[in-house]
Amino acid sequence: MPHRPTAPTAPTAPTAPTAPTAEFPVSGRDAGPYGITCGPDSALWFTMVHHGQIGRITPDGGVTSYQLETASSGPSLITTGPDDALWFTEFRSHRIGRITTTGNISSFPLPTPDAGPFGIAMGPDAALWFTEAGADRIGRITPDGHVTEFPLPLSGAFPSAIATGPDDRLWFTMNQANAIGAIGLDGDVTVHPLSTPASAPVGITAGADGALWFVEIGAGQIGRITPDGKIDEFALPDRASRPHAIAADADGNCWFTEWAANRIGRITPDGRIDEHDLPSPASEPHGLTLGPDSAIWTALEIGTIARLTPR
């Protein structure tokens, strides 16, 4: 039985922007850089959702791009797999993709039609786990391409991002069900409803404090849930900022994108928030990740990758 969620915490006044930020052009404005992750080769790998491409950028700004077989496949989120390849979801072609660090690409169709895979994460069992936003399922794929699917107990939930928790379960957001889910390796699912109406959670990450942190794009809040289901919510200073993705750093904080406000935010384990403006206007930040240089890297829809260096 999940714990009853707590009431939203009052917003914390942001500090003045202090983190130096650099931007690197990686594509045209219509390519749509979207998901991003740190690869096993100490480069950043990212998806270009509108052009069906996977990109790679080194910390010094060197860019390479790889074209997928189908330009309209909609590559979305991306992560490093147990085989030191990059694995990504193809939301529109309903496949799971794989690319090696040398650029060899393969793709695996899903058994459920119109599954709409979106979030993906490496599980504790050396497999990749992913959400099927269009089919209300959680999927699992082994490095050799064997797929298993687990149905959710809700319909129309639109499962979105997914992350491995400290309890060796996979935790995921249910964007349209206003809830956070957890699935065990045996497929057993637990659902934790959120108390804020229409909060529409999207990104989720495992924090250094043993909890999962997530963003509520519909409510302008950051949420925290412990493995036993206790939920706290922290209101952002700008409730219309549309927080989208979230990632943990090495210092115990979590960083998040504010898609509608052109900012990157940071929240400490005790709920203190500071925000950093991006230099290009209306850049629409989406995914973000901790880089090999301990900077925060984020994909901007205007066709650039930004590097924010915390002080």
pTM above 0.75, yes or no: yes
DSSP per residue, the chain? -PPPPPPEEPPPPPPPP-S-EEEEE-S-TTS-EEEEEE-TTSSEEEEETTTTEEEEE-TT--EEEEE-S-TTS-EEEEEE-TTSSEEEEETTTTEEEEE-TT--EEEEE-SSTT--EEEEEE-TTSSEEEEETTTTEEEEE-TT--EEEEE-SSSS--EEEEEE-TTS-EEEEETTTTEEEEE-TT--EEEEE-SSTT--EEEEEE-TTSSEEEEETTTTEEEEE-TT--EEEEE-SSTTS-EEEEEE-TTS-EEEEETTTTEEEEE-TT--EEEEE-SSTT--EEEEEE-TTS-EEEEETTTEEEEE---
Query: What residues contact residue 42 under an 8 Å CB cut-off, 6+ apart?
Result: 58, 59, 292
pLDDT recorded at residue 2: 31
Q: Please enumerate, by residue number, every residue annotated as part of a binding site.
A: 244, 284, 301
Q: How large is the average pLDDT for residues 288-293?
A: 97
Tell me the pLDDT tens digit for each residue of 144-186.
999 999 999 999 999 999 999 999 999 999 999 999 999 999 9
Nearest to 257 by CA among 270, 266, 249, 268: 266
The answer on pLDDT for 193 being more than 60 is yes
Q: How large is the average pLDDT for residues 126-137?
A: 98
Tell me the pLDDT tens digit for each residue of 111-123.
999 999 999 999 9
The answer on pLDDT for 286 being more than 70 is yes
pLDDT band at 311 (very low <50, low <70, confident <90, very high): confident
**Chain Cα centroid distance, residue 177:** 18
Tell me the pLDDT tens digit for each residue of 69-103.
999 999 999 999 999 999 999 999 999 999 999 99
Nearest to 182 by CA among 215, 216, 206: 206
Q: Please enumerate, by residue number, every residue annotated as part of a binding site for Mg(2+).
A: 284, 301
The answer on pLDDT for 13 being more than 70 is no
Tell me the pLDDT tens digit for each residue of 233-279.
999 999 999 999 999 999 999 999 999 999 999 999 999 999 999 99
The answer on pLDDT for 7 being more than 70 is no
Write out the catalytic residue numbers.
286
Nearest to 31 by CA among 44, 46, 54, 48: 48
The answer on pLDDT for 35 being more than 70 is yes
Cα three-residue angle 217-77-273, rounded to 5 degrees: 40
C-alpha radius of gyration, the chain, whole number: 18
pLDDT band at 18 (very low <50, low <70, confident <90, very high): low
The answer on pLDDT for 16 being more than 60 is no
Q: How large is the average pLDDT for residues 223-227?
A: 98
The answer on pLDDT for 9 being more than 90 is no
Say which amino acid occupies 53.
Answer: Q
pLDDT band at 1 (very low <50, low <70, confident <90, very high): very low
Average pLDDT value for the chain: 94
Domains and CATH numbers, the chain: 9-308 (2.130.10.10)
The answer on pLDDT for 4 being more than 60 is no
